[in-house]
Chain A
Amino acid sequence: AQSVTQLDSQVPVFEEAPVELRCNYSSSVSVYLFWYVQYPNQGLQLLLKYLSGSTLVKGINGFEAEFNKSQTSFHLRKPSVHISDTAEYFCAVSDRAGGSYIPTFGRGTSLIVHP
């Protein structure tokens, strides 16, 4: 069984400051990793994904994440945030061996960007 822990339920930050949203996962097999964003009253949008290859993954809206197998982490970063980045962010993991891509989601981190 796999699980995801998002270490911060809420992250307040000022506009143009850097931000890191933390995600740790637990799995007995190799995994695929995802970050999704959910704006108020909307569905989830894929920010980026790690399937294989380079451990540094770049996504949309200037976000990037680094897969660290030894620390079982997949932290999301952005060097300079905007007010429009205020949203809920979800980390997710799926089982590579199963090949089904059905993700297990974390509980989410609320990013709040202040002017």
Chain B
Amino acid sequence: DAGVTQSPTHLIKTRGQQVTLRCSPKSGHDTVSWYQQALGQGPQFIFQYYEEEERQRGNFPDRFSGHQYPNYSSELNVNALLLGDSALYLCASSLEEGTDTQYFGPGTRLTVL
């Protein structure tokens, strides 16, 4: 049973560019959440998707957007990249019923130069 997978593992972009990160949830899970983990910090909630809609959003600007597909996989898009967007981006999946337990992927390390 595959857990949460994310791609790519690492990514290097320059300021102003756009980036798309991808996540496949654990088998059977229908809810996907995205987090940003800056170096030396705990993860910060970006948003959560369920039934292809953004259900909740954290304190992140509109440059951060997402999508969920019918197969429950998800994308995180960041436009107009800033140096401060450099971080580990974590995807977590859960069941809509019983979302107290989230399963995290290994993350995508984004470096903005």
Contacts and interface: CB of A to CB of B under 8 A. Distances in A.
Interface residues of B, number: 23
Interface string B31-57: 001000000111111001000000010
B4 to A, nearest CB: 7
Nearest to B9: A41
B66 interface: no
Interface residues of A, number: 23
Contacts of B41: 107-108
- Give the one of A32, A45, A100, A101 with max B CB within 10 A: A101
Contacts of B56: 100, 102
A46 B40 CA distance: 19
A29 to B, nearest CB: 16
A100 B99 contact: yes
Interface string B59-87: 00000000000000000000000000000
Interface of B: 4, 33, 40-45, 48, 56, 58, 90, 92, 94, 99-107
Interface of A: 4, 32, 36, 41-46, 49, 51, 90, 92, 94, 100-108
